[in-house]
Each structure stands twice: as C-alpha cells, then as structure tokens.
Structure 1
Amino acid sequence: MSIEANKALVERYYHELVTGQRLDLLPELVAEDAADETVVGRGGSGTREDFAEHLRVLWSTVQGVTATVEDLVAEEDRVIAFWRIEGVHVGPVFGVPGTGRAFSGRSISTLTIRDGKVVRYNVLPDRLGIIQQLTPVTV
C-alpha cells in the first residue's frame, strides 16, 4: 500500500472506529494477528480482540470520546499519529476514578500497516496532562 493509503487507514481508525465507536469495522481495519501493545503488555493475547478490549475500556471510561487526528507522519509501513482525545471522565483513567469532568489530552501513536490493515499499535499519551485535568488542585 502507498503511504497515502496507510495515512487514510489511520484517519479511519480514529474517526470511524474510535470516535464513531464502530466496532464492526475492526475486521476491516485491524489484522487478526495484530498486536495492541497497550494490552499485550498487560497479558493480552496479541490478537484483534485486544483492540476490541482496549476500545471497550476507553468507551466505558470516557463518555462521548472524540479522537481527532492533528497530524500524520508516514514512511514505508509505519504511520505516526499525533492526535487529541476529548470526552467526559466517567470511569478509571490512569488510576483516577471517574470524576464527571471534561478533559482533553494529546497522544502520539505508532501504527504499523500490512496489507491495508493495522498490525501493531502503540500509544504514548500525555498522562500527566490528563491526570492534572482530572484531579482537584490542592494547595
């Protein structure tokens, strides 16, 4: 696939799958043997089901989640996505119990593409920035 096709796939991943909560698109966008490294490191199976679990947790903890791609950088089979997440914090995120607060955070993700599908996913979120928005300021 071309670099532009890989970028378009990543755009769809965030817009239609994450924001649109279209779990039915998972087989179209993610390979069966794909590794979601955010889940595999916690005992995941290294399959598409890890992606589904990651998304279910996200959707249950962040109400009205919106993932907006701000920039994409791609070379060969890799796409780096600079994206923003927004929503209302209703369940545990980074160890902080649900607060009902709206928040916005930036993340950088690396997605590896093979034959038009994601085969590897890793994300580096701005944990500190998000936690600061979710916890009360104490003086």
Structure 2
Amino acid sequence: MSDVSTLEQNKQVVRRYYHEMVSGQRIDLLAELVAEDAADETIVGVGGSGSREDFRQHLLTLWGNVPDVRATVEDLLAEGDRVIAYWRIEGTHSGPVFGVPATGRPFTGLSISQLTLKDGQVVRYNVLPDRLGILRQLTAAAV
C-alpha cells in the first residue's frame, strides 16, 4: 500500500471518528475505530486505564453533558501515522463542561486534535479545545 493511500485511509478513520461515532453517538463503532490498548490522553493521568474503555467513558460523558453534540471536521492534515484534525464542536450545555454546571445554553468551539493511528485504528488521542471561548459562552451573563 502506498504512503498516500495510507494517509487517506487514516484521514477517513478520523472523519468517521468525529462524524459517525461522536456526532452520530455510535458507541458500536468504538471497537472498529479505536484499538483496545489505545490511550485517550484527555483521561490518562487523571484516573484513566490507558485502554479503549477510556474512550468509551469520554464519549459517554460528552453525550451526557452535551446530548445534541455535533462534531464537524473542518480540516485534516496527515503525516506518517498521525492525523491533525481541526474541528468544530456545537451543542447544548446540559451537564458539567469544564467545571461549569449546566446552563442550557448553546455553544460552539474549535478544537485541534492529534490522533495517532496503527492498522486503521486510533492508538493515541489528544485534543486542545478552545476552553476559554467555550467557557465565555457558558458563563456569560444572560442577556
């Protein structure tokens, strides 16, 4: 398989991760898209196990706190075994997000994620969300 086709396949896995699994709330895709021993670095180090279960918990928490979440990939860059995703998150704040109790407010934010893939599955995930922008929307005085 050529390097170009591997890069395109990795990008397709990442698109599916956000569009089908996160936005579509399809937990059934977890075993297909994420390796059993994958590291969700948003959880590892704060009680995570360093396994697919961390991804499951991350998704269930997200869906519980933002039940109408939409994750839209704006751009993807791939190099070697890594894909950088620039994506938009939108939804309604229905549970704690970044320590802020539910407000019922809609919000949107941009994030940059780094996903490392092996054999067509995510093996490492890290995200840098626009926490400040999201927090400003959630904590702004009601108009």
| TM-score class, shorter | over 0.9
Question: 1:23 corresponds to which residue?
Answer: 27
Question: Aligned partners of 2:141, 2:82: CA distance in 1, in Å?
Answer: 39
3-state SS of paired residue (2:117): strand
Residue identity in the other structure for 2:79: E
Indicate the structure with greater strand content: 1
Residue identity in the other structure for 2:27: L
Question: Aligned partners of 2:125, 2:23: CA distance in 1, in Å?
Answer: 17
Question: Aligned partners of 1:84, 1:14: CA distance in 2, in Å?
Answer: 10
1:121 has 2:125 as partner: yes
3-state SS of paired residue (2:42): helix
Normalised by the size of structure 1, how large is the TM-score? 0.97
- How many residues matched? 138
Residues 23-62 of structure 1 aligned to structure 2 (within 5 Å): 23-62=27-66
Instruction: Point out where structure 1 has 5 or more consecutive residues left out of the alignment.
Output: none
RMSD: 1.1
Residue identity in the other structure for 2:57: E
1:103 has 2:107 as partner: yes
Normalised by the size of structure 2, how large is the TM-score? 0.94
Question: 1:69 corresponds to which residue?
Answer: 73
Question: Aligned partners of 1:41, 1:127: CA distance in 2, in Å?
Answer: 19
Residue identity in the other structure for 2:41: E
- What do residues 7-26 of structure 1 show as CA deviations (whole Å, max 9, x unaligned)? 00000000010000000110
Question: Aligned partners of 1:41, 1:15: CA distance in 2, in Å?
Answer: 27
- What do residues 93-123 of structure 1 show as CA deviations (whole Å, max 9, x unaligned)? 0111000000000000000000000000000
Question: Aligned partners of 1:53, 1:95: CA distance in 2, in Å?
Answer: 17
Equivalent residue in structure 1 for 2:92, among 76, 88, 94: 88
3-state SS of paired residue (2:69): strand
Instruction: Point out where structure 2 has 5 or more consecutive residues left out of the alignment.
Output: none
Q: CA deviation at 1:43?
A: 1.1
Worse-matched range after superposition: 1-10 or 16-25: 1-10
The percentage of counterpart residues that share the same residue type is 70
Q: CA deviation at 1:63?
A: 2.1
